[in-house]
Amino acid sequence: MNLNLKFASNAPLPPTVKFFPHLDRVVTVEHCYYYLSFLERFWTFMDTMTLYEQRHYLARAEVRYEKWLHNFNEGIRVPPLDVAFLWHIHALSPLRYYEDLVLRLRCNAVFDEIFPLDNLHHTANDPHMNDLNIWNQVFGEDEPYFLSPENMYDGTYSRPCYACQQEIVLPWSAYFEYRYGVNTTRFPHDGCGPAEGINFLDVARMKLESDLTNKCPGPIVAGTLLKPNGTIRKKPNKMVTKIKPLQIILPQEEMDYAYERQIQEQLKFFGKKYEYDANELLYAIRTSYQSNPTPFSIDLIHAVSRQRRFYDTIISMDWSSESDILIASIRHYHNFMATLKHQSNLHAVPTVEIDIAFHVHMLCGPQYRKFTLKHLHQVINHDDNIPENYIKEYTARWKRGIVAPPYIYMVKETKKESRHVY
Ligand SMILES: [Zn+2]
């Protein structure tokens, strides 16, 4: 046990069986505590690396998360810390997470799985032998269970091309540069694409092409498969079937403008009835495809850096009465949800304290969806990307007694803006 960790021991126990509040059975003091332990362990490990190493570590973790997703049925129940962290980051965007895992990548079993907060805590220094053995059998020596700066450059990046399925194989150091857009030089790719080779802007372009032309069950363009309330769209986006995948985009970085021209043309022809779908599709291309060569609809690595701020605030708090803070977290989260229920035109921004319980709830994807749909008639999206000056300004206004209680920040927002987080 690392004695310098604040959340290394067991979760606090209630004085009596019913003393601790809980919400929806899964948001408990115990889970909140193990969630903090998970964050602390991850960021403490990150802090042993240089910033440069951290970026590489995250890029490889993202690839490992995808590999683990597609091999979930092999039975590795507690993934390595890096994979678990990326999984958690994904779950914190509940609409995109559901769309990706259930509707696009067909990883329903992962979506249905309860995030193993307890197990991650208890096996922190001693993972299950069974998990280690399966991991080694499935991924081989080139993909170690424990990822570290010492081994993260070993082996090679390998992933099938979205368009032709031929493996794209690169040294990790090259992949890292492509992933962060530092390098856009072309490399040979025989399977498809131009004779001069491809780069990762092409890979992102081909990801959209593949989703647009998906045969069964039809196009799976991220950001167009759900209604604003988070339920599945019964009538697919009409504009998706009207546009043709672009083979050449110049300049390569401007995928959205290239598609915008085509969408505008179609809109002129089909008229007003297509306007909503046209806007939705263009927004989806901009936020889920442009500069994002990963199979996911959000840039998970960008989302990781936002969570760092959350962690820094948590770890700087006084945790001497930890169970009191966690009890308040659950109670205020409950109030937060209740406020949203009665004032659905408001966009509510949780405080850090509420956010702990909020995150824990979102880590149980099916429960979170069911709960919010049942009680609030929509899957509440989660936004950690509120400008800091806005929160400061709000807090100041609250202190002058102008705005709502301390545990909640609110701002009126138009429906359209509140639809997506990223
Ligand atoms: Zn290809």
Amino acid at 108: N
Give CA–CA dist 330/338, Å, rounded: 12
Q: What is the pLDDT along the chain (422 residues), one digit of tens a residue?
A: 455 899 999 898 887 767 889 999 999 999 999 999 999 999 999 999 999 999 999 999 999 999 999 999 999 989 999 999 999 999 999 999 999 999 999 999 999 999 999 999 999 888 899 999 999 999 998 899 999 999 999 999 999 999 999 999 999 999 999 999 999 999 999 988 788 999 999 999 999 999 999 998 899 999 999 998 999 999 999 999 999 999 989 999 999 999 999 999 999 999 999 999 999 999 999 999 999 999 999 999 999 988 998 899 999 999 999 999 999 999 999 988 888 887 766 666 788 889 999 999 999 999 999 999 999 999 988 865 555 566 666 666 656 665 544 344 443 333 333 322 22
Give buried/exposed letters for 287-320 (b at 16+ CB in 10 A, else e).
Answer: bbbbebbbbbbbbbbebbeebeebbeebeeeeee
Chain centre to alpha carbon of residue 93: 5
Considering the entire predicted model, what is its pTM?
0.90
Q: Is residue 71 part of a domain?
A: no
Cα gap 16→337, rounded to integer Å: 27
Q: Is 100 a member of any domain?
A: no
- Dist. CA 207 → ligand 1 center (Å): 10
The reply to whether 389 falls in a domain is yes
Q: Does 392 reside within a domain?
A: yes
pLDDT at position 341 is 83
Q: Is residue 390, in this structure, part of any structural domain at all?
A: yes
Q: Find the domain containing 318 and state its range.
A: 309-419
CA 277 / ligand 1 centre spacing (Å):
29
Is residue 367 situated within a structural domain? yes
CA of 194 to the centre of ligand 1 (A): 10
Is residue 318 included in any domain, yes or no?
yes
Sign of CA dihedral 168, 170, 174, 175: positive
In-domain check, residue 291: no
CA–centroid distance, 152 to ligand 1, in Å, is 26
Q: What is the total count of domains within the chain?
A: 1
Q: How many angstroms is it from 20 CA to the middle of ligand 1? A: 54
Rounded Cα distance between 122 and 124, Å, is 6
Give me the half-sphere count of Cα atoms (radius 13 Å) on the Cβ side of residue 104.
28
Query: Could you count the other beta carbons within 10 Å of the beta carbon of residue 153?
Result: 13
**Ligand 1 (single-atom ion) residues, CB below 5 Å:** 161, 163-164, 191-192
